[in-house]
């Protein structure tokens, strides 16, 4: 679930600290998320980050007994900003893909969901064949955009900096369909904001494009990847993961 030069420096964004245990014994970790990808991460009006990614980040920091600061960063600048040491980790529904593994290291997955297509409720599109010649919206620098380029070459792919922007365009009839994570789209079409639209179909993931699930990205060679992996296993074991999962979903988002 992606990379362009535009980013918003973490220092200029509203952030907050999470504390777990004695500060003198803690490791300080700055974690970036997008804040524009509900239900996984959202930026509230008071500047705080919320969502599944954020609750998982807090639980992992508590498990690791680390002091963590959460900041926001534009999606398409996430990896360049991580490499520039503006923060130490990315917890933002970023899929573990071969392409990204050339640039960063990842923890093991903390969830795994597939892509889907959403269309207006009054559309004449009834299946994937109906997308030929239609305008398909996707967020830039995402696995979903890459999926559309490979598997829907006869559609006119239109890219957007954020999911909010493609949602606005499909609401106003400027595009014919959108592609994104099935959970993101399913939650959106159930909301008042997404009342315009419906799920056309879930899509079979392409492992080379969609990867093996969402993981926590860190700089190459950073031992934080293994620490996060161990913490993910621990919260899966002690029930904290299920507690967070059940707050947002009625199924196990961890996946196969």
Query: Is residue 16 pLDDT above 50, yes or no?
Result: no
Mean pLDDT, the chain, rounded, equals 91
What's the confidence (pLDDT) of residue 21? 41
Averaged pLDDT, 99-118: 97
Q: Rounded to whole angstroms, how far apart are CA atoms 199 and 228?
A: 34
pLDDT digits (tens, 9 = 90+) for 201-233: 999 999 999 999 999 999 999 999 999 999 999
CATH number of 10-111+212-248: 3.40.190.10
Reduced to 3 DSSP states, what percent helix, strand and coil does the chain have, rounded to the nearest 5?
A: 35, 25, 40
What's the confidence (pLDDT) of residue 156? 98
High-pLDDT (> 90) share of the chain, % = 89
Class at the top of the CATH hierarchy for domain 115-209: alpha beta
**Strand partners of residue 218:** 89, 105
Nearby residues of 232 by Cβ (< 8 Å), 6 or more positions away: 60, 107, 108, 109, 110, 241
Decide whether 10-111+212-248 matches 115-209 in CATH topology: yes
**Domain spans of the chain, in order of start:** 10-111+212-248, 115-209
Positive/negative CA dihedral, 192, 242, 59, 22 = positive
What's the confidence (pLDDT) of residue 256? 80
Residue 49 neighbours by CB distance under 10 Å:
27
């Amino acid at each position: 679930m992606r990379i362009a030069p535009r980013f918003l420096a973490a220092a200029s964004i509203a952030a907050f600290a999470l504390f777990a245990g004695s500060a003198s014994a803690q490791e300080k970790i700055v974690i970036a998320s997008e804040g524009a990808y509900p239900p996984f991460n959202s930026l509230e009006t008071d500047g705080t980050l919320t969502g599944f990614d954020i609750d998982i980040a807090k639980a992992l920091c508590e498990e690791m007994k680390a002091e963590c600061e959460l900041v926001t960063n534009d999606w398409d600048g996430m990896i360049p900003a991580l490499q520039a040491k503006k923060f130490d980790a990315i917890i933002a529904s970023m899929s573990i893909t071969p392409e990204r593994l050339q640039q960063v290291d990842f923890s093991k997955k903390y969830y795994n969901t597939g892509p889907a297509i959403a269309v207006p409720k009054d559309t004449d599109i009834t299946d994937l064949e109906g997308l030929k010649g239609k305008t398909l919206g996707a967020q830039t620098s995402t696995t979903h955009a890459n999926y559309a380029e490979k598997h829907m070459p006869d559609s006119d792919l239109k890219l957007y900096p954020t999911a909010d922007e493609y949602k606005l365009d499909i609401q106003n009839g400027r595009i014919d369909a959108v592609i994104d994570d099935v959970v993101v789209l399913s939650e959106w079409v159930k909301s008042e904001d997404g009342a315009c639209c419906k799920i056309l179909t879930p899509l079979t993931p392409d492992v080379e494009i969609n990867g093996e699930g969402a993981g926590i990205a860190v700089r190459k060679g950073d031992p934080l990847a293994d620490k996060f992996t161990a913490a993910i296993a621990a919260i899966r074991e002690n029930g904290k993961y299920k507690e967070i999962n059940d707050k947002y979903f009625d199924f196990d988002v961890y996946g196969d």
